[in-house]
Amino acid sequence: MPTGAASSPTPVTIATLPLEPASVAFYAKHRGFFARQGIDANLLVLAQPTQLVAAVLSHQAQFTGLNVGSAAILKTRNAPIRLVAAGAMYRREAPTTALVAARGKGISRARDLVGKTIAIDQKTTIAHVGLLKWLKGNGVSESDVRLVEMPFADMLGPLGRGSIDAAVLPEPYLTLATQRGAKRVAHILHAVCKQDCLLTIWMAGRDLDPELAARFRNAIQAAAKWANRSRSDAASAAILAQYTPIDKAVMAKMTRTRFAERLRPASAQPWIDVYAEFGVIPTSFRAIDLVK
């Protein structure tokens, strides 16, 4: 039991999505990192991102994972939640998200997308805002293209048929799409992350006990160190398979998510700045303010 922990494990509910960027919580539970911090973790796996914050605000859960863009939006709305731990990283040397083009479309650069249809998951997500930043950097505006919204899994069929010209896809859909003939055009998130930066973070209510938050962070960071080792890939894949429908053969080929091993709020700053640049939030703010 860690110093300062309760004599019996603290029951904690963690709201999360069945996605690899959230999987560090799965690893922390199954590999005993929560238990070592005196936490009896219950994973509340939800289907929709909109359910995550609601679970914390209603006290159904004590912690939840969010992408940095969503956290920035909530901060500007003065939602009573705060950053407690870092999550998934975007690594420029091993990107897990890319813009792909349908087979035979002849798309190899931003200018080729003018007048074309691009699928995104939703407006104001990091996929959408990252795409806008990349297009802008290459002299193309949002009005020059046609954006359609659909879940990532639903993009594969239209992309294969050519009824959409391109799509922004994360893993494992990126690997599935390229296996079916789609062409990788650009790693668009490079336009936001000039160096490795945070994609997701873990949040809790502002009134959560700081000592419990610290124990949660310690467990998440320990799980991140374990998951980031390539020799852990087979074991982490077996855990991930319990929560996601990713085929084992695809998991073996896709680029795996890696995680921040320490909480450095500054690594979230690029997303806050770009969300302000495109008017998703009124103005930028210091990433350290997410902790408050």
CB atoms within 10 A of CB 192: 25
In terms of residue numbers, what domain contains 148?
97-191
Alpha helices, DSSP H, located in the chain: 24-30, 33-36, 50-57, 68-76, 126-137, 152-161, 173-179, 210-228, 233-240, 248-253, 269-277
Write down the pLDDT at residue 119. Answer: 98
Residue 51 and residue 120 in one domain: no
β-strands 10-16, 63-67 pairing: parallel
Q: What is the pLDDT of residue 2?
A: 60
Q: What is the CATH number of the domain that holds 15?
A: 3.40.190.10
State pTM to two decimals: 0.94
Radius of gyration (Cα) for the chain, nearest Å?
19
Q: Same domain for 209 and 265?
A: yes
- Domain membership flag for residue 2: no
Burial of 210 (0-12, 13-18, 19+ CB in 10 A): exposed
Structural domain count of the chain? 2
Q: What pLDDT is stored for residue 248 in this prediction?
A: 87
Q: Is residue 3 in a domain?
A: no
pLDDT the model gives residue 181: 97
Percent of the chain whose predicted confidence (pLDDT) is above 90: 95
Statement to judge: residues 141 and 203 lie in one domain:
no
Q: CB 283: neighbour CB atoms within 10 A? A: 9
Q: Is the pLDDT of residue 142 over 90?
A: yes
Q: Is the pLDDT of residue 1 over 90?
A: no
Q: Is the pLDDT of residue 8 over 50?
A: yes
Decide if 240 is inside a domain.
yes
Same domain membership, residue 135 and residue 49:
no
Residue 45: partners with Cβ closer than 8 Å, 6 or more residues away = 16, 17, 18, 243
The answer to whether residue 207 scores a pLDDT higher than 70 is yes
Please write the tens of the pLDDT for every residue from 10-53.
Answer: 999 999 999 999 999 999 999 999 999 999 999 999 988 989 99
pLDDT tens for 72-127 read 999 999 999 999 999 999 999 999 999 999 999 999 999 999 999 999 999 999 99
Task: Tokens 């990126």: give the residue.
Answer: 174
Q: Does 205 share its domain with 80? A: yes
In 33-145, DSSP assigns E strands to: 39-45, 63-67, 81-86, 89-90, 97-101, 117-120
Query: Residue 4 — pLDDT band, cuts 50, 70, 90?
Result: very low
7 band by pLDDT with thresholds 50, 70 and 90: confident
Q: At 243, which amino acid appears?
A: Y
Could you tell me if residue 4 is inside a domain? no
Between 5 and 207, the more confident residue is 207
